Amino acid sequence: MNMELIGHIRLRPGMYIGMIGDGAEPDHGIYTLLREIVNNSVDEFTDGYGTEIIIDIDYDGQVSIRDFGRGIPFDQMIRMVSSAVDLKCDHKGKSIGLTSVGLAVVASLSESNTIVSYREGECQVMCFSRGKIISSERMITTETDGLRVMFKPDSDVFANFAYRMDIVREIIKEYCYLRRGLRIILNGESFICENGLHDMISEYISSAPLYEPIHIYNDDFEIVFTHTDNQEEDIRSYVNGHYTPQGGTHLTAFRKAITKVMSDYFKTKLSVSETCKGIVCAFNVNLSNPYFTGACKFELYSKYMWEYDDGNTGPSIYNSIKDFLSSMLPELLAGNNSLTNIIKSRSENVWEQ
């Protein structure tokens, strides 16, 4: 075990999970622990392995998460938990979990943590307490391939903590909005979404939309937006299905790109504030090897669709979003009189030919 890493996590947990808290708010650390494990299971679904995740949370804070993906190769499990190297099954690059780091954080900040990997009729069971390995055993099993992670947050770190199930439900619903067809069962309650982010906007929009939300997507992007009479913009940004509350380069790129596309379509020079005033939007960008500011991934700072240490980069996020919007929006704008009138009212030059 990498005791230096574990010691650092326990000494400065806020660097890895953000606010410690007691579970009263969605950004408190016990929900970060939950997300890090679920993220890895969602990555398996995204890669085409397993369509269901089962989550159980007991009254005392014991969490169990079971997916039906590929599991973890047995010879990599101890290295996976004790290092910062990505040793989980080969993802296609557009993942959201911290993988080994996330599992190391959960192991380090839990008073008890059990990881069970099921692969081809065998399972490897490893038990930890506050980052220290307690036992490891391999055995025969009839369980379906996949991974089960059980943990109880350390009360020495999270004083008087409790999972609020209303917060957990919102977290689970968000996963389902961002991964159409994924079923998550939380304490016996089933969540699944067939219409993606459109369902999110339809459920959570606080003011009456001025037109039916526009919903467009491909393999790299999913965007849904409408406008309301509110003065402020309300944009929720995601990277590979992970919420980025502080935005980042993708949010800046989206705001500029939609302004550029609408300016070109309406033959005017709109400002970002004119385009985004009153907008209600949710969008997800799928990136390979994204870079964030900090372990909690609150803000994206990647500039390209992919970027690797050897200098290999893809097109810029801005150009990619702009090209996507340019290919999809004009046809939708042509038949949307409500949106046309909104833009017309914001620029005296819109109708100059």
- What is the average pLDDT across 225-237? 92
Task: For the chain, give every residue range classified as CATH 3.30.230.10.
Answer: 197-344
| Interacting residues of 14 by C-beta distance below 8 A, sequence separation 6+ | 20, 29
Q: Where in the chain is the domain with CATH 3.30.565.10?
A: 3-191
Q: How far is the C-alpha of 342 from the C-alpha of 353, rounded, in Å?
A: 19
Q: Tokens standing for 141?
A: 């099993």
Q: Which of 271-275, 310-314, 316-320 has the lowest mean pLDDT?
A: 310-314
How many Å apart are CA 144 and CA 148, to the nearest integer?
Answer: 11
**pLDDT tens string 109-149:** 999 999 999 999 999 999 999 988 999 999 999 999 999 99
Split at pLDDT 50, 70, 90, the class of 96 is low
Higher pLDDT, 104 or 190: 190
Mean pLDDT of the 236-261 span: 94
| 167 vs 89, higher pLDDT | 167
Give the ranges where the chain is alpha helix by DSSP (H).
3-11, 14-17, 29-46, 77-82, 100-108, 165-178, 197-204, 249-266, 272-276, 317-334, 337-344
Instruction: Report the pLDDT value the prediction gives residue 86, as an integer from 0 to 100.
Output: 40
Q: What pTM did the predictor assign? A: 0.85
- Of 109, 147, 148, 115, nearest to 129 by C-alpha is 109
Tell me the pairing of strands 146-153 and 132-140: unpaired
Is residue 217 over pLDDT 70?
A: yes
The answer on pLDDT for 87 being more than 80 is no
Q: Are 151 and 113 spatial neighbours (Cβ–Cβ below 8 Å)? A: yes
Average pLDDT over residues 329-350: 82
pLDDT band at 345 (very low <50, low <70, confident <90, very high): confident
Judge whether 100 and 80 are in contact, CB under 8 Å.
yes
Res 98 pLDDT > 70: no
Task: Identify the residue with better confidence: 100 or 225.
Answer: 225
Measured between alpha carbons, how far is 289 from 4 in angstroms, rounded to an integer? 26
| Fold of the 197-344 domain | Ribosomal Protein S5; domain 2 (3.30.230)
- Has residue 247 got a pLDDT over 90? yes
- CA gap 327, 261 in Å, rounded: 10
Q: Report d(CA 162, CA 153) in Å as an integer.
A: 10
Query: Which of 12-26, 147-161, 229-243, 336-350 shows the highest mean pLDDT?
Result: 147-161
What's residue 91's pLDDT?
Answer: 46
The predicted pLDDT at position 348 comes to 60
pLDDT of 89 higher than 60: no
Distances (CA, A) of 152 to 83, 84, 170, 192: 21, 22, 21, 26
Structure token pair of residue 16: 């890895």
pLDDT value of position 207:
85
Give the Cα separation of 36 and 194 in Å (integer).
24
Produce one character per residue of 186-204: b if its CB has 16 or more CB atoms within 10 Å, e if not.
beeeebebeebbbbbbeee
- Binning pLDDT at 50, 70 and 90, where does residue 99 land? very low
Round the average pLDDT of the chain to a whole number and report it: 88
Task: Tell me if 106 sits within 8 A of 149, measured CB to CB.
Answer: yes
At 101 the pLDDT is: 66
The predicted structure's pLDDT at residue 84: 43
Res 124: pLDDT: 95
- What tens digit of pLDDT does each residue of 37-79 get? 998 899 899 889 999 999 999 999 999 999 999 999 998 887 7
- Interatomic CA distance for residues 255 and 252, integer angstroms: 5
Question: What are residue 103's phi and psi, to 5 degrees?
Answer: -70, -35
What CATH number does domain 3-191 carry, 3.30.565.10, 3.40.190.10, 3.30.830.10, 3.20.20.70?
3.30.565.10
